[in-house]
């Protein structure tokens, strides 16, 4: 089985978010909690479903990821677009920019 993270949309603004290991939701896939396989993702997915019931996020689900050149990246193109932003307007996309890594 492949590594997985949990993605959802935040209800306050509709942005794509990822469940972090501290239980918070981050806009950055690089901060997501990585489960080694689907079995390891059961508890975090249950936590995400509770956040859905509390109306923090909508539709949490598992996303297959791989580490490429030291970065966490989705293996499916659809999820890559969700993680990085629009493919036709690079000026509006994240392009893997994580403000926490800025100097």
Residues with Cβ within 8 Å of 71's Cβ and at least 6 positions away in sequence, in order, are 30, 96
Query: Of 82 and 96, which is predicted with more confidence?
Result: 82
Tell me the average pLDDT across 22-48.
Answer: 95
Residues with Cβ within 8 Å of 15's Cβ and at least 6 positions away in sequence, in order, are 9, 27
What pLDDT digit, counting tens, does each position of 42-89 carry? 999 999 999 999 999 999 999 999 998 888 999 999 999 899 877 777
Number of folded domains in the chain? 1
Is 10 part of any domain? Answer: yes
Question: What range does the domain containing 72 cover?
Answer: 3-93
Residues with Cβ within 8 Å of 1's Cβ and at least 6 positions away in sequence, in order, are 36, 37, 38, 39
Percent of residues, the chain, with pLDDT higher than 70: 86
What is residue 26's predicted lDDT score, i.e. its pLDDT? Answer: 96
Is 101 part of any domain? Answer: no
- Cβ–Cβ < 8 Å for 94, 31: no
Query: Of 27 and 1, which is predicted with more confidence?
Result: 27
């Amino acid at each position: 089985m492949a590594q997985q993270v949990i993605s959802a949309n935040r209800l306050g603004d509709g942005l794509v978010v990822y469940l972090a290991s501290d239980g918070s939701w981050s806009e950055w896939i690089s901060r997501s909690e990585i489960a080694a396989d689907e079995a390891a993702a059961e508890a975090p997915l249950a936590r995400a479903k509770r956040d859905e019931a509390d109306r923090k996020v909508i539709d949490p689900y598992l996303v297959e990821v791989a580490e490429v050149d030291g970065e966490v990246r989705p293996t499916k193109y659809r999820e890559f677009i969700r993680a990085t932003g629009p493919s036709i307007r690079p000026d509006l996309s994240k392009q893997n920019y994580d403000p926490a890594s800025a100097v």
